[in-house]
């Protein structure tokens, strides 16, 4: 009996040593050939001095500032505002000699991640030399904030056309925030944080569990994880694509469309023509981008209809006699040719995407100028 126990003990010891050697080998290989995902999210724009609180609009950019923005994919972009607080060349409010086009919206007309010269309002100006294209894009603004900016600031410039650039993540609760919120980095402390920082094999396993839906669902099934994140963790750009959205999504739609109706009325009262152009969402244009957005939440591509949000916007604008432009099919066709239209690991356009967007919307804007 004693000899048998010794043999078992030796086998267990050999197995333990073999396992230890395998783990050490895996640690060495991963350390040499695997790069963990960066936790660096780039400079938080709220920390750059770019913004100031505004009671009507939530926040606006400060005038005459210059900040260096280090992006989360490693590029550096300079952001400069003119004396009126917009990412545009210097302008004079009075004495316009050309009809004016006011471009409104969020981080897309602002030109997040690209130099001002590569943002589509600059491209639009080149395509419309007989007009003056003014860029009032404010990163982070939703529809109610943009409407407030239109009323409080933009109409004083007497635009003939108001081009509203509408992104699917604008379909949210339409309340005016009290200033620009900032990202608060999660605290990393304790034994798990130490393991993550020092043991490559642990971080590799953790990354696989978080980024693989199959692994995540397996952990749920065996009881090692409560559940995968749901709607609350979903990228706001893809929420309008859900085939069966929760009630809160419909509430957000109704509030957003109400703001759009009010914005249309504001433009009509001022003698300006409103043109609405939707942003072709990266996750709608590129199936692989949708898969990336879904890899850590409890939804599958079959749960989404990528044209749904754009179709509803077109229906709304057609019913309200609002000029509407949807570049979605143009972007899909160009992406299928292999053209890169978006920034790496980010939802925004690169310079090529900005140019394509400008080329698609220019005819609708030109028509509005002639009305």
In DSSP terms, which residues pair with 58 in a beta bridge?
54
C-alpha dihedral, 187 to 188 to 189 to 193, nearest 10°: 160
pLDDT at site 220: 65
pLDDT at site 133: 98
Rounded CA gap, 298 and 228, in Å? 5
Kindly report the CATH number that applies to the domain delimited by 93-181+233-370: 3.40.50.1110
Rounded CA gap, 63 and 81, in Å? 6
Of 99, 89, 86, 56, nearest to 366 by C-alpha is 99
Q: How many CB atoms lie within 10 A of CB 257?
A: 18
pLDDT at site 40: 47
pLDDT at site 308: 96
- Specify burial of residue 173 (Cβ count, 10 A radius: 0-12, 13-18, 19+): exposed
Domain extents in the chain: 1-33, 93-181+233-370
Rounded CA gap, 120 and 351, in Å? 8
Q: Could you tell me the CA-to-CA distances from 288 to 38, 244, 272 in Å, in that order?
A: 20, 22, 40
Q: What is the mean pLDDT of each run of 10 residues along the chain (371 residues)?
A: 74 85 85 65 68 92 93 87 97 93 97 96 98 96 96 97 96 81 56 75 68 66 72 93 96 96 98 98 95 88 96 97 97 97 94 98 97 82
pLDDT at site 25: 86
Q: Could you tell me the CA-to-CA distances from 298 to 38, 112, 230, 291 in Å, in that order?
A: 24, 29, 6, 12
């Amino acid at each position: 009996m004693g000899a048998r126990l010794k043999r078992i003990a030796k086998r267990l010891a050999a197995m333990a040593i073999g396992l230890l050697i395998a783990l050490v080998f895996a640690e060495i290989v991963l350390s040499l050939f695997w790069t963990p995902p960066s936790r660096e999210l780039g400079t938080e724009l709220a920390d750059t001095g770019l913004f100031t609180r505004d009671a009507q609009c939530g926040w606006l950019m400060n005038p005459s500032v210059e900040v260096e923005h280090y992006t989360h994919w490693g590029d550096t972009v300079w952001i400069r505002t003119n004396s009126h607080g917009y990412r545009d060349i210097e302008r004079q409010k009075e004495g316009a000699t050309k009809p004016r086009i006011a471009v409104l919206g969020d981080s897309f007309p602002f030109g997040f991640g690209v130099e001002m010269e590569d943002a589509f309002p600059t491209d639009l100006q080149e395509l419309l030399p007989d007009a003056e294209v003014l860029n009032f894009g404010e990163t982070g603004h939703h529809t109610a904030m943009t409407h407030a900016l239109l009323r409080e600031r933009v109409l004083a410039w007497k635009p003939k056309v108001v081009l509203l650039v509408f992104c699917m993540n604008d379909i949210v609760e339409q309340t005016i925030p009290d200033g620009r919120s900032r990202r608060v980095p999660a605290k990393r402390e304790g034994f798990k944080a130490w393991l993550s920082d020092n043991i490559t094999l642990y971080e590799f396993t953790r990354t696989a569990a978080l980024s693989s839906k199959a692994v995540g669902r397996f952990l749920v099934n065996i009881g090692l994880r409560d559940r995968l994140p749901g709607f609350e963790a979903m990228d706001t750009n893809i929420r309008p694509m859900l085939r069966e959205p929760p009630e809160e999504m419909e509430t957000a739609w109704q509030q957003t469309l109400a703001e759009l109706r009010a914005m249309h009325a504001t433009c009509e009262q001022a003698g300006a023509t409103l043109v609405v152009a939707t942003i072709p969402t990266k996750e709608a244009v590129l199936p692989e981008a949708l898969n990336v957005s879904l890899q850590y939440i409890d939804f599958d591509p079959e749960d989404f209809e990528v044209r749904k949000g754009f179709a509803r916007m077109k229906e709304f604008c057609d019913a309200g006699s609002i000029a509407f432009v949807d570049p979605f099919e143009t972007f899909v066709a160009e992406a299928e040719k292999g053209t890169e239209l978006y920034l790496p690991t980010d939802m925004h356009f690169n310079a090529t995407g900005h140019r394509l967007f400008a080329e698609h919307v220019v005819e609708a804007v030109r028509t509005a100028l002639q009305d």
